[in-house]
Amino acid sequence: MAEKYDVVVIGSGPGGYYAAIRAARRGASVAVVEKGLVGGTCLNRGCIPSKSLLASAHTLLDARDAAMMGIDVALAAPNWKKIKSRKNAIVSGFRKGLTGLISANGIRIIAGRGVAEGGGMVRVETESGAEQIAAENLILATGSEPAGLAEIPFDGTVVISSDEALDLAAIPRSMLVIGGGVIGCEMACLYAALGAKVTIVEALPQLLDTEDEWVGRLLKREFNKLGIETIVSQKATRLEKTESSAKVTLHDGRNIAAEKVLVAVGRRPVIDSETVESLGLKMNGVSVSVDEGMHTNTDGVYAIGDLVGTTYLAHGAFAEAEVAAANATGGNNRIGDYRLIPRAVYSFPEVATVGRTEKACNRDGIDFSSGRSSFAANGRSAAEGRTAGEARVLQDKSTGAVIGVTIAGDTATEHIAAARALLGGREKITDISFPHPTMSEVLKEAWEDAFGQSVHGPPR
């Protein structure tokens, strides 16, 4: 007879493990099915490894700027082997800790491919064969993968995705980054700091096109100081490659040669087609369609995280997991305003936004005022030698309420957690989203722990 659980979660990324622990803390019997590594994309191929590499790159830039601070430092050079070793140690340490945390909450981890068969049954294909388990409620948290371009197909060697970019054998002499969004900007900064000649090609009119125009102008200026060439309003149309390099032709006929071509045009949800068919899931394009309670159109089945295509953020998945876990265990929760989930970009300089942008206000006809302050006029910023950027706060003139904050500058991703407190109403701390990964998360963890609600603390 199949072992039965109150809640089965397929996927152990930020949304999956968070939902599993929340459900277990509410008294449910829970199993997590994971076909890859515990922690999903965020821990193994995204948030944590990328920020580890970026931290090394930031340290390298600081060392090179030491003379400006009155410090004599010998020539600083990257040791790629040690940089990667440090990154891998951080990732493996967190993976071990997360596996222990899940188990400590009485949750069974099953390694294998999970396929929902309908009728509350889940087939798990493991190395030793297939196993069936029964689920009273099912939470789908199967994440996403890098999106590709038909004209510039991945080969994993010369034309790479962000997965390969985090573990290259050597620092390339040159890199063409196709896509000026979050991943493209972060990876461009990383490899430019390490010494590669980097060019970004973006089809839209600016870098980080979802943000305000001033952010795009600022990044283009600061990226130029790093040696990054930025080309906007251009598409890559054709690829010619050898075993060790490539030449990409742009729409205007220009040719760009590079040792590596990183295609960073976003991510797309991943879900097993058998699961979609067996459950009769309603889709919203390539994403699973859900309501505000993270319910799919199939009773007892929920979907969260990148799979539903809402934020493509780890902390967005946390927020959705909170709702899904509560509802799968008898609750009646609803997701809040997605605009109150901060966006964070770990480029040089960083960019972080919460609430509305000036673009959104203009689009929606909101009469607003914009307050701003420059990092260059801030004493601490000047003392630290980090003066690029500014902060802008938007106020709705009709209500007087703060409706949006954008910060572009040093540690912007840390500041945005405090800025988030300016928006919204009287939410519980568990409803307030802190960007991940940031040091500011320690405040939320301590706050939640004080009330016995921390997922990452020991069970109580």
Give the helix ranges, DSSP H, for 365-400: 379-384
Helices H / strands E in the chain, number of each? 13, 24
Instruction: Count structural domains, the chain.
Output: 3
* Strand 197-202, strand 30-34: pairing: unpaired
Q: Looking at the structure, do residues 203 and 313 belong to the same domain, yes or no?
A: no
Mind listing the pLDDT tens digit for each residue in 395-418?
Answer: 899 998 889 999 999 999 998 887
Q: Is residue 154 part of a domain?
A: no
* Strand 3-10, strand 129-140: pairing: parallel
Q: Is residue 311 part of a domain?
A: yes
Query: What pLDDT was estimated at residue 460?
Result: 66
Mind listing the pLDDT tens digit for each residue in 303-334?
Answer: 999 999 999 999 999 999 999 999 999 999 99
Query: What pLDDT was estimated at residue 441?
Result: 78
What is the C-alpha separation between 4 and 14, in angstroms, rounded? 24
How far are the Cα atoms of 221, 313, 319 from residue 212, in angstroms, in the given order? 15, 19, 25
Note if 436 is an active site residue: yes
Residue pair 322/433 in contact by the 8 Å Cβ criterion: no
Residue 429 has pLDDT above 90, yes or no: no
Report the candidate in 77, 245, 255, 81 with the shortest Cα–Cα distance to residue 174. Answer: 245
Q: Is residue 340 part of a domain?
A: no
Average pLDDT over residues 241-266: 94
Q: Is residue 373 part of a domain?
A: yes
pTM for this structure?
0.92
| Domain finish residue from 248, 265, 282 | 265
Q: Is residue 417 part of a domain?
A: yes
Q: Looking at the structure, do residues 362 and 422 belong to the same domain, yes or no?
A: yes
Q: Looking at the structure, do residues 324 and 387 belong to the same domain, yes or no?
A: no
Name the β-bridge partners of 263: 178
Report the candidate in 285, 283, 282, 287 with the shortest Cα–Cα distance to residue 304. Answer: 287
Mind listing the pLDDT tens digit for each residue in 194-232?
Answer: 999 999 999 999 999 999 999 999 999 999 999 999 999
Check which CATH number belongs to the domain holding 101 and give it: 3.50.50.60
- Angle among Cα 309, 310, 315 to the nearest 5 degrees reads 115
Residue 117 has pLDDT above 80, yes or no: yes
Mind listing the pLDDT tens digit for each residue in 169-193?
Answer: 999 999 999 999 999 999 999 999 9
Q: Looking at the structure, do residues 48 and 164 belong to the same domain, yes or no?
A: no
The angle that helices 182-193 and 47-64 make with each other, rounded to 10 degrees, is: 40
- Domain of residue 211 covers 159-265
Q: Looking at the structure, do residues 252 and 272 belong to the same domain, yes or no?
A: no
Residue pair 67/44 in contact by the 8 Å Cβ criterion: no
Q: Looking at the structure, do residues 405 and 440 belong to the same domain, yes or no?
A: yes
Q: Looking at the structure, do residues 117 and 27 belong to the same domain, yes or no?
A: yes
At 457, is the pLDDT very low, low, confident or very high (cuts 50, 70, 90)? confident
Query: What pLDDT was estimated at residue 87?
Result: 98
At 449, is the pLDDT very low, low, confident or very high (cuts 50, 70, 90)? confident
| Domain finish residue from 277, 296, 328 | 328
Query: What pLDDT was estimated at residue 430?
Result: 66
**Given 315, 415, 436, 456, which residue is catalytic?**
436
